[in-house]
Amino acid sequence: MVKHNNKGNSLPIAKNEDVEFSADQADAADLKAAERADEADARQEGK
């Protein structure tokens, strides 16, 4: 989802941001979320 900021210009602001995954700092919930994201990507790609 893309929104526009309210500062008088029309630069889009993305709702979802890319973040770097750090396995060193990941907890069980992070690992499960990464697994679910990989599964969702595979479904979207038809694998």
Which of the residues in the chain have pLDDT under 50?
A: 1
Q: Alpha-carbon distance 41 to 28, whole Å?
A: 20
Count of all residues that appear for the chain in the document = 47
Q: Alpha-carbon distance 3 to 12, whole Å?
A: 6
Which H or E element spans position 31?
helix 28-44
The model's pTM is 0.53
Contact 2, 14 (CB under 8 A): yes
